[in-house]
Structure 1
Amino acid sequence: MKRFLLSLSVMFAAAIAKTQPLILEGLAGDHYLFYQHLIAKNFSAESAFGVMHIANVSSFYTSNKNKEAKAPEVMNQAYLTAKLNKSLTLLTGIFYSNATGIRVAAGLQYAVPFKNGLWVTVPRVDIMNGGSAELMSVLELQPAIKEHTKLYFRIQAMSNVGPYHHNRSYQRVRLGITIKGTQVGVGMNLDEYGRQTKVHVNTGIFLRRDIS
């Protein structure tokens, strides 16, 4: 079942690969395989409206001796987007995870590109009773080393809380190089679940491709 869920997301991303821009990433870690993709596209070059899809799958190894190893963790977000100005984009749509089920959600993306980098922060809320509030931020740096080669560094952090307690947080760190739109290097995922915010660490090798 774990392999099926991971394969399903990979096949879905491959089937829509012509929908650009598309960012794909995989991490082969010591505790689980991690896959994610991001698709963001306006309806037309002149339109302020568009669509966004984000998917994450963590597939834990069955041979993992860690007694806290879990079933696959699946997260999908699908939004209609409305660009408010150069930096702000409104998101409205559906959030799904195997822990929460389907939730109607809304968020606001604030993106600031700068020389050799990008900063994005996204506050998001579930629009329903007993929902949750979330804040996700990404800092990405790509200073040039030589022609067609850049240093690649990214840190991504998210924290989600419900009405009464912490639900889920993570911190994802990547360090490697970029060669013609492809990043490869070492990565670390730090995960926290529920009321007990014990940190679970997954380290390994990542491969990322930005198709734009």
Structure 2
Amino acid sequence: MIKISLALLLLSVAAYAQTGNVELMPGNRYFHQMHSVEFPLNASRKFSWQQLGTIIKYYDKGSGKNLPKDELMNQSYLVYNLSEKVALKSGLFYTNVGGYHPSVALQFKWKLKKGILLLSPRANLSRVQAYELFSLVEYKIGADKKMPVVVRYQGMSSVGLKGHNRSYQAFRIGMQVKKNQLGAGITLDEFGKDKRVYSNFGLYFRRVW
């Protein structure tokens, strides 16, 4: 986990053509690492490659089938940019619980004057049906200052034929210095049909490029 995080940080320095971020948050219940990387495949930037990932490592998993387990999620997509705001994505979705599934998604992205709004519906193209909606809102207070305050919400909800699968809502607030962010965060995780809720809060570090 640490090696993956360090490799992403080094990659962000070496690969100027890429866009992306990596976030580390040691919380009260688990260590959380998220990253997103995208780089163009041609000069027109019509086609690009996108890779998204999450690692959740619990300090004390305890016992019992209803308790949350360590998580590994990875999504890899070939992206066709229909416009600056709309993109079509096709690739593979992986979790350590469900394995690999072919996946297709749309991405809607709006660049605001002081932030960004992104929505991305996704669906499995396999017998194990799952439908997901990812959303992200980021706003910078004092965006023209050297150290703006960054407020961000990131959420995901996944449902299947039997109802709710997995959801989370992540809230972050911090200061940004150049390409680095440091602040406080809380993540609310929901599991299963009865939507059992667990919280994880702590300090986070985020590198953007």
Whether TM exceeds 0.5 here: the answer is yes
Say whether residues 1:127 and 2:122 are aligned partners.
no
What residue identity is the alignment partner of 1:209?
Answer: R
Aligned pair partner of 1:10 in 5, 8, 11: 5
Q: Which runs of 5+ in 1 are unaligned?
A: 1-5
Q: Displacement, 1:146?
A: 6.3
> SS in structure 1 opposite 2:39?
strand
Counterpart CA distance in 2 for 1:191 and 1:144 is 31
Contact 2:130–2:158 (Cα < 8 Å) also in 1: yes
Alignment root-mean-square deviation, CA? 1.9
Contact 1:60–1:69 (8 Å) recurs in 2:
no
Query: Do 2:109 and 2:117's aligned partners in 1 also have CA atoms closer than 8 Å?
Result: yes
Distance (whole Å) between structure 1 residues aligned to residue 67 and residue 50 of structure 2: 31
Residue 145 of structure 1 deviates from its aligned partner by 6.5
Gaps of 5+ in 2: none
1:33-74, Cα deviation, whole Å (9 max, x unpaired)? 000110011113313001000010011003x67976543210
1:181-211 residue CA offsets vs partner (Å, 9 max, x unmatched): 2111100010011112021000000010102
Number of equivalences = 205
Q: Whole-Å Cα distance in 2 between the matches of residues 53 and 135 of structure 1?
A: 17
Q: Decide whether the 8 Å contact of 2:30 with 2:200 is kept in 1.
A: yes
- The one-letter amino acid paired with 2:47 is F
What's the secondary structure of 1:167's corresponding residue? strand
The 3-state SS of whatever aligns with 1:130 is coil
Change (3 A) 1:198 1:21: same
**Matched letter for residue 167 of structure 1:** N
Distance in 1, Cα, partners of 2:56 & 2:163 = 23
Contact (CA 8 Å) 1:190, 1:200: kept in 2 or not? yes
